[in-house]
Amino acid sequence: MRYLLALILELGLGALLYPYLGNLRSSGVSVQDGIDNAASKSDAMGAIDASTPSSARTVVPRTVTERPADVITRPATQPVSPPAPVATQAGAGNDTPPPLDNAGLLIPVQGKSASDLADTFTDARSQGRLHDAIDIMATAGTPVLAVADGQIEKLFYSERGGITIYQFEPSGKYAYYYAHLQRYADGLAEKQAIKRGQVIGYVGSTGNASAEAPHLHFAIFELGPERRWWEGTAINPYPLLMRQ
């Protein structure tokens, strides 16, 4: 400390200490004595600090401001596009299917003709439902045929429909639904490509159908953009099958 004050005086910075030096003179203390006194106090404080255990010293906390981490903003829900339908058979990749009037749908029960069909599309069913399909009566075990080229989208068992098949036509816009089957054709599998007239199952009475009246419940649905096999707008198959 003594050396620091001497250095300040030598550098001509005494003006900064003028009030302090003036007080020393007015009190009868020489400048050198004031310097020596200040140095002694500084040495004493250093000795006290050195002799004081670190645990007893007062530590002034230091506030550190850290840079916040970068925040990455993501949408709460990532948009998910529905998968494109699997293209199969001739004309695959065409997103605009031919009108159903020109689809050339085959009557889906072997040995049946247009004269055997009845329009039951708007018939009432339980719980205020409409039928939204037609029933084609046939002997149990009669082969069920694919009405058109396409793909087996889902093989499913339901309480009402029993053993069922959902078939998508190549563009994925329409679904063909076959219900109350006795069983599937051997080797039938989901995502399998099938041809018009191929045997895919057999007439039965599974689900809520009467065992005394085996038949094929056949429906057509126009799918939404999500192409969910369990959703769609029902289309009456009767006028389409009558074109045979």
- Give the tokens for residue 162: 């029993």
Q: How far apart are CA 189 and CA 168, in angstroms?
A: 13
Mean pLDDT (whole number) for 168-194: 95
Mean pLDDT (whole number) for 195-218: 96
DSSP class of residue 136?
E
Q: How far apart are CA 124 and CA 161, in angstroms?
A: 16
In this prediction, residue 147 carries a pLDDT of 96
Q: What's phi and psi for 32, nearest 5 deg?
A: -65, -40
Q: Dihedral sign, CA of 26, 30, 36, 39?
A: positive
Query: 240, 220 in Cβ contact below 8 A?
Result: yes
Confidence class of residue 175 from pLDDT cuts 50, 70 and 90? very high
pTM of the model: 0.59
Give the count of beta carbons closer than 10 Å to the beta carbon of residue 206: 19
In this prediction, residue 115 carries a pLDDT of 93
Contacts of 74 (CB under 8 A, 6+ apart): none
